[in-house]
Amino acid sequence: MLKHFTNPPNWFTMASIFCGFWAIVLAAGNPGDPDVFYRAGLLICFAGVFDMLDGPLARITGRGSDFGVQLDSLADVISFGLAPAVLVYSWGLNALGGLGLVASFGYALCAAMRLARFNTMAEGQPKSTGEGLATTMAGGTLAAMVMTHAALGKTFVANPTAPLMLTVAFSLLMVSSVPYRLFRSIRRSPLSVAMLAGFFGLGVLLEVRYDIALWFFGSGLVYSLSGLLELVAHGDLFRRRASGHGIEVDLDDEEF
């Protein structure tokens, strides 16, 4: 175990776990404080940053391991499953009583189920898409929703129905078969580079003028809808057929 504790890529994974744990402590221990909710959401976003760095570091240093892969999935359950569920419940869904509790638990459960499916099907996944909304994106967007609410100066949730619907929608998208384009599959063309530059420039503008949470929330919603829109626009490209081992996905890479 000492070898795993001293493995640099695992440090970033453990940092992600710490951010998720701290977010849970803040959200559960200080109900009704917008500033605390904002900080809890920000910690989940920081957990996302650490989650993005551990994989590349493992490849660069050649210190990747099966232990690290499993640790990363467990970290995702905490930071993007449990932490966002506790955050949205303490922030607004608790006003709905049992319904809010069921929705929050349902989100955490779907996140764990999505990660379990990913671990068992990772080798068979297509290179350009992933099946279902990633837990990192779902959890980060829920956290950004809470941060945006606080950044706009609102002290309490006037209508928890909209957050409830969004939480349920993310839960279903995580365990769905909707194909989502992976960032590494984006072609490096002048147009794509220009679009990404403009996209991040908009983020900087919103950070200076308003709050970076607005950009995080908007980006998460756009990406969450992108899989559904692409499925509708190119539905004939995703031909699912039952097999003895599950669902097979046929993709024509030339269409992406």
Across 207-217, average pLDDT: 72
d(CA 155, CA 214): 17
* Most confident listed range (21-25, 53-57, 67-71): 21-25
Confidence of residue 201 (pLDDT cuts 50, 70, 90): low
User: Tokens 């996905």 correspond to what residue?
Assistant: 249
Q: Could you tell me which of 143, 134, 150, 159 has the C-alpha nearest to residue 210? A: 150
- Angle, helices 212-233 vs 161-174, to 10°: value is 50
Across 119-147, average pLDDT: 80
Asked whether the predicted pLDDT for residue 227 surpasses 90, the reply is: no
Tell me how far apart the terminal alpha carbons of the chain are, to the nearest angstrom: 43
The radius of gyration of the chain's CA atoms, rounded to the nearest angstrom, is: 19
pLDDT of residue 250: 36
Asked whether the predicted pLDDT for residue 254 surpasses 50, the reply is: no
**Strand (E) or helix (H) holding 29:** helix 8-29
Confidence of residue 196 (pLDDT cuts 50, 70, 90): low
> Residue 253: is it exposed, middle or buried by C-beta count within 10 angstroms (0-12/13-18/19+)?
exposed
Across 221-236, average pLDDT: 77
Q: What is the pLDDT of residues 96-124, one digit of tens each?
A: 999 999 999 999 999 999 999 888 876 54
pLDDT of residue 7: 81
Angle, CA 24 vertex, CA 76 and CA 98 arms, to 5°: 100
**Strand (E) or helix (H) holding 28:** helix 8-29
How many C-beta atoms surround the C-beta of residue 30 within 10 A? 14
Q: Which two tokens stand for residue 216?
A: 């995080």
Residues 99 and 163: beta-carbon distance below 8 Å: no
Cβ within 8 Å of residue 104, ≥6 positions away? 85, 86, 88, 89, 93, 167
Residues 84 and 42: beta-carbon distance below 8 Å: no
- List C-alpha distances in Å: 81 to 48, 75, 200, 231: 12, 9, 26, 25
Question: What residue spans define the domains of the chain?
Answer: 2-187
pLDDT of residue 255: 32
pLDDT of residue 238: 44
Angle, CA 108 vertex, CA 235 and CA 149 arms, to 5°: 85
Across 167-171, average pLDDT: 96
Q: Does domain 2-187 have CATH number 1.20.120.1760?
A: yes
pLDDT of residue 248: 37
pLDDT of residue 231: 77
Strands 129-131 and 246-250: unpaired
